[in-house]
Amino acid sequence: MQSQFLSAVSERMFLKRYAKKTVDTYLKYIAQYIRFHNFQHPNILGDVEVESFLTYLVTVKKVSVSTQTVALNALVFLYKDYLGSPLSLDLNFIHSTKQAKLPVVLTPAETTRFFECVPPLHFLQISLLYGSGLRLMECMRLRIKDIDYDFKNIRVFNGKGGKHRVVTMSDKLIQPLITQSKLVKSILDKDKLNAKYAGVYLPHALRQKYPNAAYDLNWHYLFPASRLSVDPESKKLRRHHLDERGIQKTVQKAAQKAHIEKNVTCHTLRHSFATHLLLNGSDIRTVQDQLGHSDLRTTQIYVHVLQRGGNAVVSPFDNIELKTNG
């Protein structure tokens, strides 16, 4: 059960329009920070205690650079936005130097075997992770309006770092996406019969700009949850997007069934998308745009495959010849 203090921090974050996943992550590190200092109230702690906690994460827990950064961001929010006592800009703590892991990439043959073992229930979502290089939560947060059938692309809004981008879409996934959209419409028609249904979640600015959009099919999630739930921000009854944990488990089971010895995760499919684009002749700048990387150096991790140039982006999913996946 969450403490009153953490519940109050959570409420403040929702009021400031933070995503639920961000709220959960920040609360986890704030709770760790409090436990690390023997449950003393953060009001009586400060820069020195924050420094010692961040150093502990590196020297004892051996966390990565990104994990330490997230923990720091959580504490910055706690002190600046909740307690009203900002931390110093010159915190002195040991920074993580743990090297990022090299990406796990499937070969084209392994990719084919993998998809032959993906069950129909989550086949479309997992196909988009590889076929369009989407991050898992980018896929889960897709809305009906984000699919552009005319130009065969997918618009990704507020990806990592709040960036927008346009990614390629496999021809093979057009009909399944149309079928999925029809399913969402049938679910929405039933939800509208419920007097308590308050429409789909929309960020605050969009709520103000499009007051009727919450009931518009185009704004509803492409992959809706199986049941209605209470929105933690507004306390209203809505249908959220599909829980990502089911996709994660399906990916792991499909890799095991395909006898792939590598550690295959949802992000492995994104790594494989990027590498296979390079193998198919796309240049690294094109791959950078598809992945949404701000810095080309981030994309260069995939250049263990020779760069061959190329212009038009064809989804690597089009090259997969599938047998029955029942």
Q: What is the pLDDT of residues 118-162, one digit of tens each?
A: 999 999 999 999 999 999 999 999 999 999 999 999 999 988 877
Which runs of E-coded beta strand occur in 248-311?
A: none
Residue 256 has pLDDT above 50, yes or no: yes
Same domain for 133 and 27: no
In a domain, 92, yes or no: no
pLDDT tier, 313 (very low <50, low <70, confident <90, very high otherwise): low
100 confidence band (pLDDT: 50, 70, 90): low
- pTM comes to 0.81
pLDDT the model gives residue 303: 73
**Cα gap 2→215, rounded to integer Å:** 33
Cβ count near 90 (within 10 Å) = 6
Range of the domain at 132: 108-319
Give yes or no: 155 in active site: no
Which residue is associated with the tokens 């981008």?
A: 165
Structural domain ending residue among the three candidates 31, 65, 82: 82
Q: Report whether 155 contacts 143 (CB < 8 A).
A: no
Split into its structural domains, the chain has a count of 2
Mean pLDDT estimate for the chain:
91
> Does residue 4 surpass a pLDDT of 70?
yes
Shared-domain flag, residues 213 and 66: no
Q: Please tell me what DSSP assigns to residue 125.
A: H
Give the pLDDT mean for 69-80: 96
CATH code, domain with 114: 1.10.443.10
Asked, for residue 91, whether it belongs to a domain, the answer is no
Residues 197, 58 within the same domain: no
**Residue 88, domain member (yes or no):** no
Asked whether residue 215 falls in the same domain as residue 294, the answer is: yes
- Does residue 168 sit in helix, strand or coil? strand
Contact between residue 214 and residue 188 where contact means Cβ atoms under 8 Å apart: no
Q: Which of 141, 143, 241, 270 is catalytic?
A: 270
CB 282 within 8 A of CB 310: yes
Mean local confidence (pLDDT), 77-94 = 93
Residue 102 maps to a domain: no
Is 313 found in the same domain as 218?
A: yes
In the DSSP assignment, the letter for residue 238 is: E
Do 197 and 51 share a structural domain? no
Asked if the model's pLDDT at residue 103 lies above 90, the reply is no
Are 266 and 123 in the same domain?
yes
pLDDT above 80: residue 311: no
pLDDT, one tens digit per residue, over 169-210 is: 999 999 999 999 999 999 999 999 999 999 999 887 778 888
Q: Does residue 215 sit in the same domain as residue 253?
A: yes
Q: Is residue 99 part of a domain?
A: no
Question: Is residue 96 included in any domain, yes or no?
Answer: no
Q: What is Dmax (Cα atoms) for the chain?
A: 63
* Catalytic residue (one of 113, 122, 135, 143): 135
In the chain, % of residues over pLDDT 90: 71
Question: Are 62 and 123 in a shared domain?
Answer: no
CATH of the domain at 50: 1.10.150.130
Q: Report how many helices (DSSP H) and strands (DSSP E) the chain contains, helices first.
A: 13, 5
**In the annotation, is 293 catalytic?**
yes
Mean pLDDT of 161-169: 91
Question: Are the C-beta atoms of 266 and 273 separated by less than 8 Å?
Answer: no
DSSP state of 100: P
Active site residue 270: yes
Tell me whether residue 267 is one of the annotated catalytic residues: yes
Lookup: tokens for 265: 């995760």
* Residue 277 placed within a domain: yes
pLDDT tens column, 22-52? 999 999 999 999 999 999 999 999 999 999 9
* Residue 187 and residue 53 share a domain: no
Same domain, yes or no, for 52 and 117? Answer: no
